[in-house]
Amino acid sequence: MKVAQRPTGRAGDAVPAAVEISIVMPCLNEVETLATCIAKAREAIERGGYSAEIIVADNGSSDGSQLVARELGVRVVDIQRKGYGSALIGGIEAAQGRFVVMGDADASYDFAAIAPLIAKLREGYAYGRMRLHATGMEFASEMVIKASLKGMRITEVPVVLHPDGRSRPPHLRTWRDGWRHLRFMLLFSPRWLFLYPGLALLAGGLILSALLVGGPLWIGGVRLDIHTLLVAGFLALLGYQLVLFAVFTKMFAIREGFHPPHPVLETLLRYITLEVGLLAGALMALGGLVALVVAVVSWQSVGFGRLNPSTTMREVIPAVVLLALGTQTIFASFFISILAIERD
C-alpha cells in the first residue's frame, strides 16, 4: 500500500477543497475481491471521519469488475494504456483529493488500516515532484528511486500483507517483471552501467597501447606484442563508446524526468558545444588519417612489398583507433545536440 500527496493543482485545474483523501485501487479482473476492498475503504473513511472518495482505476477488466464498482457507488476511471503503473497514474490524475492512498484491489492490503498513512501524509510527504512515468510493475521502484534522488522525505508505516483473495493466477510474472525492474534500475545508474566500466576500459586500453606502441613488452615471462596492441585498441574503442552511452543515457533520463538535472553535466554542456565536439573529433580523425598516410609512406619505401607486421601494425593500429575515436566524437556530438534541444 502506498501513499502520496498530490500537487496543489495543474494550470487551469481546481482541486476541490471538500475532498481530502482519494483512495485509488488499480484493477484488472478483480471481481472476486473488489467489493471487499471497497467495503474496507468505506469502513476506514467512516471511522476516521475523512472527506474522501474511492476511485477504481480499471485497466480493461473483462470479468465485470467495473459493474461491481459502479453498483457500489464508487467512481470508475477507465485506463486504456495497459500496465500496473499506467492504472495508478491514470487513477491519481483523476483524483480530486489532496492526498492519495493506493492499494491493490486483490484484498492483499487492508484498506481499513489507512489511518497511520493519512497521519503521515498530513505531515507533508509529497507526490507531484516525482513525475512518475513507469507503466508497469516498476512503478513502485520508480517512486522510491526518484524520491531518493530528489532528496524528498520518505517514511514507512508497517502494514500487514495478506494472501490475495482471488482464485485466478496473479498478474505478476516473476521473470518478466523482474527484468523490467532490473532494466529500470539500470537506467537510473548510467554511472555504474556505462561510465565506470567505460572509463576503466578506455584508460586500460590507452595505457596498454602507449606501452606497446614503441615495441614488445615483457611482463614476467610473457611477451606482449602487436596482438595485445590490437586488443588494447579495441578496449579503448569499447570504453569510449560506453562513456558516450553514459552521457546519452543521463541526458535522456533528465529530459524524460527520470533524473533530476545534473549541475556538472549542465556546466560541461555549456562549454562543450556541438562546434567544440566537431572540432575535437575532426582533429582526432585528422591525426589518425595522417598516421595512416605515414604508414603508407613506410610501405612505399619498400616498394609496396612485404612488410614486417611487428613494425607496421604499430603504426596502423593506433592510426585506425584514433580515426575511429574521431568519427565517434563527431557523430556523438550531433546526437548530444539533438538530446539537448529544449522541448516546447
pLDDT top residue among 285 and 141:
285
Cβ-contact 323, 285 below 8 angstroms: yes
Give yes or no for residue 12 having a pLDDT over 80. Answer: no
Q: What is the pLDDT of residues 183-222, one digit of tens each?
A: 777 777 888 889 999 999 999 999 999 999 888 888 888 8
Q: Which phi and psi (to 5°) does residue 62 adopt?
A: -120, 10
pLDDT tens for 111-148 read 888 899 888 888 876 866 677 767 766 777 777 777 77
- Among residues 159, 176, 208, which one has the least CA distance to residue 321? 208
Nearest to 277, CA basis, from 324, 198, 331 = 331
Q: What is the pTM of this model?
A: 0.63
Distance (Å, whole) CA 105 – CA 33: 7
What does the pLDDT average to over 95-106? 90
* Residue 50 vs residue 187, higher pLDDT: 50
> At what angle are helices 139-149 and 174-187 packed, to 10 degrees?
20
Average pLDDT value for residue range 329-343: 88
pLDDT bin (cut points 50, 70, 90) of residue 57 is very high
pLDDT surpasses 70 at 17: no
- What is the distance of C-alpha 66 from the center of its chain? 33
Instruction: Kindly state the cell numbers that stand for 138.
Output: 516498476
Query: How many residues are recorded in the chain?
Result: 344
CATH of 2-185, one of 3.40.50, 3.90.550, 3.30.70, 3.30.1490: 3.90.550
- The grid coordinates of residue 23 equal 483512495
Q: Please report the pLDDT score of residue 344 as a whole number.
A: 57
- pLDDT tens, position by position, 215-262: 888 888 888 999 999 999 999 999 999 999 999 988 888 887 777 788
Q: What CA–CA distance (Å, rounded) separates 41 from 55?
A: 11
Task: For 85-104, give one letter per residue: b (16+ CB within 10 A) or e.
Answer: bbbbbbbbebbbbbbbbbbb
Domain ranges of the chain: 2-185, 190-339
